Amino acid sequence: MSAEGELVIDVTGVTKRFGKKTVVNGIDLQVRRGEIYGFLGPNGSGKTTFIRMLCGLLTPDAGSGTCLGHDVLTEQALIKREVGYMTQAFSYYTDLSIRENLDFIARLYDLPDRNAAVRESLERLGLKDRSEQLAGELSGGWKQRLALAACLIHRPKLLLLDEPTAGVDPKARRSFWDEIHRLSAEGITVLATTHYMDEAERCHRIAAIAYGSLLVRGTVKEVVAAANLFTWSITGAALAQVAEELRGRPGVEQVVPFGDTLHVSGHDGTAIEAALTQVQTTNECTRINSSLEDVFIGLMDKARDNFG
């Protein structure tokens, strides 16, 4: 993916309200062709609503822009033809086989050579040997492959993936993301929501959203650097006790167990050092680089709730 390129998504001030609640609050987003863009945020943050506005399933209440060159307010039917949308929940027919599901999707898109399209999808996602298996009998990883195959069957230019690997084992997740990078290399653009920090780190750029508002965006390195978060790793004995003594002290914003270590983070490095000196004498404390997870949790802790 080149640093400069055609903007596949280019929207400004996109807003959606349900009743008195603003679910998506004035989001600006630009995504280039062939880019893998990660969209991070907790449940209820507005990620799914935003994606549905991009793919033409919902109309924004405010804002403007284009998706695949089409106006998100007035050309939704055109957008739908060129987008592959993978929902959070498995949404295919469990009493149909893999092949039958793909053939049904090909019919919906009125593809001129359905048999060839289905055959290509089966081969690309490694589904050929299971093509006659009922979708309802598939494991999570195989359902994921079927869903991705269905999204790709009409050769979309943009994939919108809403938590595509939720409930899938680590091996299947890695295989899925390997395929996403192959698609990106072919020029397909991907916007994917995820809760997994390792997946976010595989994206070219990311954005974090909470309570409908965009908090930060950029490469992972840029997001971590901009946070100005100081983090220490603590190892040794009685870590649970150390954690309790640290919580609530000046400068200490996060105390998070990671296996046999603690991560202690905050934006005032001097205050954290003072807290560490006061609490422990035998544990080993080491200044480390803040991880994306450290930064993400810090952002979510500071986000303002829009409930009501």
From first to last of its 308 residues, the chain has per-residue pLDDT tens of 444 579 999 999 999 999 999 999 999 999 999 999 999 988 888 999 999 999 999 999 999 999 999 999 999 999 999 999 999 888 899 999 999 999 999 999 999 999 999 999 999 999 999 999 999 999 988 999 999 999 999 999 999 999 988 878 888 889 899 999 999 999 999 999 988 899 999 999 999 999 999 999 999 999 999 999 999 999 988 899 999 999 989 999 999 998 899 999 999 999 999 999 888 668 899 999 999 999 998 888 877 665 55
| 239 and 208 in a common domain | no
| 245 and 220 in a common domain | no
Cβ proximity of 260 and 243 under 8 Å: no
Torsion, Cα of 24, 30, 36, 38 (10° steps):
-30
Comparing C-alpha atoms, which of 180, 177, 176, 198 is closest to residue 189? 180
Pairing of strands 70-71, 62-67: antiparallel
pLDDT in tens, 138-160: 998 899 999 999 999 999 999 99
| 154 and 252 in a common domain | no
pLDDT in tens, 255-284: 999 889 999 999 999 999 999 988 866 889
Copy the structure tokens of residue 97: 């086989």
Copy the structure tokens of residue 245: 């003594």
- CATH at residue 261: 3.30.70
State the total domains in the chain.
2
Cβ proximity of 23 and 49 under 8 Å: yes
Instruction: Determine the structural domain holding residue 276 and report its residue range.
Output: 230-289
| 147 and 250 in a common domain | no
- Full DSSP string of 20-55: TEEEEEEEEEEEETT-EEEEE--TTSSHHHHHHHHT
List the strands of the sheet with 205-210, edge to edge. 83-86, 158-162, 189-194, 36-40, 205-210, 213-218
| 156 and 278 in a common domain | no
Cβ proximity of 150 and 85 under 8 Å: no
| 265 and 158 in a common domain | no
0.85 exceeded by pTM = yes
